Amino acid sequence: MKRTSLERAECPIARSLDAIGDWWSLLIIRDALLDRRRFGEFQRSLGLAKNILDKGILKTAPASDGSAYQEYVPTLKGRGVFPILVALRQWSEKFDRHPEQIATILVDRDNGRPVRKLELYSLDGRLLSAADTTLKPRPRRAKRHPGRLSLKGRRGA
């Protein structure tokens, strides 16, 4: 079955799923953020084929140990997935049938204390729930016409 690309979808959730929607993509990013770098480490951890590492979320770089190997490191786009992974983790910790079986907790590296639950706030600081939000159309930018001279802001025009 051929996968349909969601790259040009109007919905931002659908567009993000085009890049990270496969379960193994999120696990690759998780492993990269946990400092796994080499293809063999990903393959041992997840049993994956090399072709799924090419989504613009990881890039290859010379090995940090100076060897001839290449490492896979998260790009800015890959590091941007971190809050998504934290949200999924926290959701599972809250709603899993057996949370006591979860082997790890996410802690602040500096003090070893658990991180605070992710929350969504309005620009004025109010805590928001799904009931407090809605979607509206994005304002359209005025189209510029090539070759037309704009006289706005010119003196004497």
* 63-122 residue pLDDT tens: 888 888 888 888 898 899 899 889 988 988 888 888 788 888 899 999 999 999 999 999
**Rounded CA separation 127/10 (Å):** 27
What pLDDT shows up at residue 99? 79
Contact present, 9 and 19 (Cβ < 8 Å)? no
How is residue 106 written in tokens? Answer: 């996410």
Torsions phi, psi of 111, nearest 5?
-120, -5
Report which of 30, 25, 73 is spatially closest to residue 48, judged by C-alpha positions: 25
Per-residue pLDDT for 10 more than 80?
no
Burial of 48 (0-12, 13-18, 19+ CB in 10 A): middle
The full 3-state SS of 79-130, as one line of letters, equals HCCHHHHHHHHHHHHHHCCCHHHCCCCCECCCCCCECCCCCEECCCCCEECH
pTM over 0.85: no
Instruction: Look at 142 and 47; give whichever has higher pLDDT.
Output: 142
Per-residue pLDDT for 155 more than 50?
no
Strand partners, 22: none
The one-letter code for the residue type at 68 is A
List, for residues 112-148, the tens digit of each pLDDT value: 999 999 999 999 999 999 899 988 888 988 776 666 5
Instruction: Look at 13 and 44; give whichever has higher pLDDT.
Output: 44
